Copies of this chain bind each other. A is one copy, B any other.
Amino acid sequence: MSELRKDPVTGRWVIISTERRKRPTDFLLEPVHIRPDPSCPFCEGHEQMTPCELLAHRKNGTAPNSPGWSLRVIPNQYPVLRVEGTLDRQAEGLFDKMNGIGAHEVVIESPRHTDTLADVGDVAVEDVLWACRERIQDLKQDRRFRFVIIFKNHGSAAGASLAHSCSQLIALPIVPREVRDEVDGARLHYQSKERCVFCDILRQETTDGKRLIAENGDMVAVAPYAPRFPFETWILPRRHQSLFEDAPRHEYASLARLLGDILRRMNKALDFPPYNLLIHSAPFSEQVGEYYHWHVEIIPKLTKVAGFEWATGFYLNPTSPEEAAEVLRNVKM
């Protein structure tokens, strides 16, 4: 029989549908294999095709916006929000609006076109995480911003417009809804129990083991109890900490190792799936340190459509997290 399950953080219910049960081979798989593209603006040697870099990891002696880098951060050429201007909050009768002020940056994760986060190696992944940290630390100086979303779209089915491996940062003057719901849910849990709900999840999942996928000294990867999507995976730091950007260096190294491991497991089990990766961290200037716990969410895109889910907020998931965790745990690496 199908089950209705409640996410302990947000209170969101999902249906784990056994009637429509799907195993890895049942999905409409669209493997992501990156082909060379001589016109890619993100490749080494094409630095003049992008806006000027904000940050780069470069060989000594190389000039900005020239070859010789292993990672570059640039402003997005087509930003969804712009840095220049004032928020100019105002009403329009009943309605509320503000100007589209923010920042939109791109982390180019490798100079080589066909590299992916699964195969660049642990040090390169750690460098990406560290670059995100540096950019957040910089962006949060701007008092107009309340949150920085960090996300990655891998494969066109997951929304990537360019094939070259990159992540994006969007600094926002508001807190996006999923993070708001998590923060509010975590506060309720804390008010009732004086404990962080994510720490409670970690304790139960590492003891129980049914939904555990992999772990190391600092980080734990689990299939969440009430996943919206098949093979949805969360990586949580064992140590309670609300801000991604305040983690110590060794936690980025541990996260990089576990993230690469999970992506390679997904590649083997799910045939190089498109995916979205998100970092959820506490909003700036909110006192949520005691109950919010930063984490990473990885969502392979395996089901073709979800118009109904979008529109109702009601998720049907054809794969139980216990089955997904077992598949990913048992991948021969």
Which A residues are within 8 Å of any B CB, using their own CB? 1-6, 8, 12-13, 15-20, 78-82, 85, 92-100, 149, 151, 153, 156-159, 172-174, 176-179, 181, 197, 200-201, 204, 208, 225-226, 228-229, 274-276, 278, 297, 299, 301, 304-314, 316
CB distance from A1 to the nearest CB of B (A): 5
Q: Is the CB of B5 within 8 A of A96?
A: yes
Q: Is the CB of B314 within 8 A of A149?
A: yes
Q: Is the CB of B305 within 8 A of A299?
A: no
Query: Could you give 19 example pairs across A and B, Cβ below 8 Å?
Result: A1-B100, A2-B80, A2-B100, A4-B173, A5-B95, A5-B97, A8-B95, A13-B176, A19-B78, A94-B197, A151-B308, A156-B305, A158-B305, A177-B313, A177-B314, A181-B313, A276-B310, A299-B307, A306-B310
Give the oligomeric copy count: 2
Q: Is the CB of B312 within 8 A of A15?
A: no
List, in ascending order, chain B residues with CB within 8 A of A153's CB: 305, 307-308
CA distance A95 to B174 in the complex (A): 30
CB distance from A177 to the nearest CB of B (A): 3
Q: Is the CB of A17 within 8 A of B100?
A: yes
CA distance A172 to B197 in the complex (A): 27
In the complex with contacts A82-B2, A99-B1, A99-B4, A310-B311 CB distance below 8 A: no
CB distance from A139 to the nearest CB of B (A): 16
CA distance A9 to B306 in the complex (A): 23
| Contact pick for A80, options B174, B197, B208, B316, CB 8 Å | B316
